Amino acid sequence: MAVELRLTTAKPASFYLRAARSFLEGVPAKDDKPEKPPVDTVTLMALGNAISVASYIGGTLEKEGLATIAAVRTKWTSVPGPVKHSPNVTVVLKRKAAEKALAGDLTVTTEATEPIDGQKPGTSGLRKKTKVFMGKNYLENFVQSTFNALKSTGVPIEGGTIVVSGDGRYYNKEAIQIITKMAVANGVKAVWIGKDGLMSTPAASAVIRCREGGFVPFGGFILSASHNPGGIDEDFGIKFNCENGGSAPEKVTDMIHTITKDIKEYKICKGFPTIDISTCGTYVVDGKVRVDVFDGTEDHVGLLQKVFDFEAIKKLIARKDFSIVYDSMNGVQGPYARKVFVEELGAAESSLMNAIPKEDFGGKDSPSHGHADPNLTYAVELVKAMGINKTGEKIGSGEGVPDFGAAADGDADRNMILGKQWFVSPSDSVAIIAANISCIPFFKEGLKGCARSMPTSGALDLVAKKKKIPCFVTPTGWKFFGNLMDSGDEKYFPDTECYTPFICGEESFGTGGNHVREKDGMWAVLAWLQILANKNKDESKPLVTVEAVTMDHWKTYGRNYYCRYDYEGVASEGANTMMANLKEKCNTLKGQEIKGMTVESAESFEYNDPVDKSVSSNQGIKIIFTDGSRIVFRLSGTGSAGATIRLYLEKYEKPSGNLGLSQFEVVKPLAELALELSDLTGLTGRTEPTVIT
């Protein structure tokens, strides 16, 4: 465990010394108070005149043999008032008893290798079949290419700190050991690893941004293929997140890909010992390299406690007329779900489904077939428990159905929100959160901006218009939201307009805010619980449900009937031909009438980033009709084999219109039109989508 102590001159140094000592020693049980075990890391943070206090505490505890001063970091911090900046010192103390000295050979070996085709990262890193990653030098080539790219851009790898963890899928633990040995060979002096190699994608972002005072690592490798199945015959993935906690931008991933095509060698410390990642602690190898293994939940959960009012949510969960169920789908989210819902919010252990992480996410024999993807098709157990079918329609009487349900994917960055016999589409979810944002403490002053991916429905746009804030439309991929979140930051974009506080979302079940630089499944669930808590303050009144919140939103803003058809594992040649044909047709579609609908505009989507002025072209085909209906075609970059065609369908209904229809039925005419226009069946041989959401 780790704690932070923010030192001031308002209290004597002796007070903070006692506090730091009690954390490092632990506190025995007394009377009705339980034992508090010792923590492994105490971070002292001090401004101005309190800096001497931090120095005194660190020196005293090190002399006592209770702690080791692992790091001292200095920087200038913005402060209110005429001074504007003040010196800031962070002193990191490691509990001496938790440190383990390990012998190891730090000799760097340079291994010859050759380029391997197909190492171009997609929207969320490099994903291939697990056995491909296990092949000779496949992982090593990509990791070394990443280090080479970072060094060429001046990233301080030498003597730096890196995070290495993943979602727990097959080959995760082995890959962590390989990357650690390569990191040390490339000059890294500290490696941070989640216990058992587990760390959700949003948690990795939180660790980079918050742990030991924040922004210590130069980045991190996240080992995940997200919602794709895990196992030796399934998928594996890797991506690099930068020092701001966000995915590497295209200019970096393009550089990595270029280097993979010409790589001739990689570096590794073969004699570096295998680290026991099953136990929390600090390993010091040959007195020079430090490896910290820690509870991957603590930084993320601690950050979420600053964003939300946990006490208000706890009161909601304690209501006798409110029940909750959460499905981690045997992905990395299990420990986080237990920490948040059971330990912090008081929910029953029985409210957790599939909360034990598994290397194959339950495997092919599980109800989800090992596909940890939180949607109506794969979250089979949760969908059944919530009294709906795979098209979101009510089944049964609803008796005994929980009032709130949610699910996470393999790496816990995605979410699905359900009410009692009620499905909330991801596009509606982000819009509803934005409309009710002020009840969340982190956003109590409101939003300065929001964004959605281009294929996501226009529901968020309607909220932004009413709130008079900008709503940006980006390509698919969370990294495109990163610049907007860092806008106005003096470190990254000092001369740009600031759009934070900020929230964003994608139709692919991703939602989040600017607390981290990744989509955050737990954040979305807590946002909904905060909204429900705010609307249910009076326990004497009937429960305001998820369905009621959604219906109220539609009656205010109207409803964007929306659906997505996925055609997975399509032959790349047919998929690429279809997209090329559609792009060519865009030049002549305007004004044409197709199946009684007139095309208003058709284009290949291009994004001009308002922050760094970069341009991203060929981001999908967008066709809009005169009645506001919309069709979007896009090839997904998250698959590991073949191509995935995504077809998005949207039809808007005003607040005074019919708001209670099935979205799947409403958009069927659009689907028929889209299939005829694209000749998808003729070019791919597919007559039915793999998944409909």
Distance CA 605, CA 29 (A): 62
Which tokens go with 343? 């330990």
d(CA 584, CA 255): 30
Catalytic-labelled residue, pool 165, 226, 453, 487: 226
Which parts of 211-326 fold into alpha helices (H)?
250-260, 298-307, 310-318
Q: How far apart are CA 459 and CA 552, in angstroms?
A: 14
Q: Which of 257, 259, 226 is nearest to 119 (CA)?
A: 257
Residue from 213, 204, 200, 189 nearest 106 by CA: 189
CA–CA separation, 312 and 93 (whole Å): 34
Phi, psi of 628 (to 5 degrees): 90, -10
Residues across the chain: 693
Provide the greatest CA pair distance for the chain. Answer: 83
Contact (CB, 8 A) for 410 and 332: yes
Measure the CA–CA gap between 444 and 446, rounded to whole angstroms.
Answer: 5
Per the listing, tokens 């698919």 go with 476
CA distances to 324, 405, 609 from 396, rounded to whole Å, are 19, 17, 48
Q: Is 226 a catalytic residue?
A: yes
CA distance 576 to 579: 5
CA–CA distance, 265 with 147 (Å, rounded to integer): 12
Return all residues near 542 (Cβ < 8 A) that are at least 6 apart.
Answer: 321
Contact by Cβ (8 Å): 95, 66: yes
Amino acid at 498: C
Nearest partner of 240 among 262, 261, 258, 217, judged by Cα: 217
Cα separation values, 23 from 10, 17, 18, 536, Å: 21, 10, 9, 38
Phi and psi for 168 in degrees, rounded to 5?
Answer: 90, 5
User: Which strand (E) or helix (H) includes residue 455?
Assistant: none
CA–CA separation, 509 and 505 (whole Å): 8
Number of H helices, E strands in the chain: 20, 32
SS3 call for 443: helix
- Cβ atoms of 471 and 557 within 8 Å: the answer is no
Q: Which spans in 34-170 are helix H? A: 51-63, 130-133, 138-152
Task: Assess contact for 234 and 228: CB atoms under 8 A.
Answer: yes
Q: What is the distance between the alpha carbons of residues 462 and 307, in angstroms, rounded to a whole number?
A: 25
In terms of Cα–Cα distance, which of 656, 676, 650, 657 is closest to 592? Answer: 676
Residue 671, burial from CB neighbour count under 10 angstroms (0-12, 13-18, 19+): middle
How far, rounded to the nearest angstrom, does the alpha carbon of residue 534 sit from its chain's CA centroid?
25
Hey, which residues are catalytic here? Answer: 226
